Amino acid sequence: MKLNGILNSNISKVLSDLGHTDQLTIGDCGLPVPPTVNKIDLALKLGTPSFIEVLEAVLADMKVEKIILAEEIQEQNPAVLSELKTLLKDVEIVYVPHTDFKHATEQSKAVIRTGETTPYANVILQSAVIF
C-alpha cells in the first residue's frame, strides 16, 4: 500500500504519466468534462472535497510552470483566486474567457471534479520539467 501522497490511484497514475507541458484540470462540480477526456470524479457532496483541498494535494505531487484560469474568477471569486496566487506564487497565470477555458480542457490528460460550489473555481495546470 502507498505510504503517502495521493492515494487515489487514478490521480496518481495521471500525475506519474505527465510530461513537460502536459495539462491537468481541476474543476468545480459544475465544470463540463469533454467526452474525450478522462474524468476523475471526487465529488462526494456539495462542497466536499473543496477545490483548494484537491489542488493542495495535487501540488504536493506535481511541478507546475503555468496555470490557466477563466478571467471571470477575478470578479466572481476573488477569495479562490487569492488562494491560487498564494499556492502558486512563482507560476505564470494566463486568463482566458470562461468559454475558451472550457474548450482548453479538451487538451487535458484528465479533469478532476471536486465538490466545489463557488463560481469559476477551475484551473488548468501545465506541468513543468523537474530537472
Domain that residue 20 falls in: 9-127
- Is 57 part of any domain? yes
Per-residue pLDDT tens digits for 50-105: 999 999 999 999 999 999 999 999 999 999 999 999 999 999 999 999 999 999 99
**Residues 6+ away with beta carbon under 8 Å from 103:** none
Number of structural domains (the chain) is 1
Annotated binding-site positions: 28, 98, 120-122
Q: Which residues have a catalytic role annotated?
A: 20
pLDDT score for 66: 98
Backbone angles phi, psi at 59, to 5 degrees: -65, -25
Annotated binding-site positions for substrate: 28, 98, 120-122
- Is 2 part of any domain? no
- From the list 99, 100, 67, the residue with the least C-alpha distance to 83 is 67
Which helix (DSSP H) or strand (DSSP E) does residue 111 occupy?
strand 110-113
Burial class, 131, CB count within 10 angstroms (exposed 0-12 / middle 13-18 / buried 19+): exposed
Q: How confident is the model at residue 2 (pLDDT cuts 50, 70, 90)?
A: confident
Starting at the edge strand found earlier in the chain, the sheet holding 92-96 runs: 38-41, 110-113, 23-27, 123-127, 64-70, 92-96
Domain CATH code at residue 86: 3.40.1650.10
Q: How confident is the model at residue 4 (pLDDT cuts 50, 70, 90)?
A: confident
- Is 3 part of any domain? no
- From the list 115, 96, 114, 97, the residue with the least C-alpha distance to 126 is 96
Provide the 8-state DSSP code for 46.
Answer: T
- Is 4 part of any domain? no
- Is 118 part of any domain? yes
Which helix (DSSP H) or strand (DSSP E) does residue 16 occupy?
helix 9-17
- Is 104 part of any domain? yes
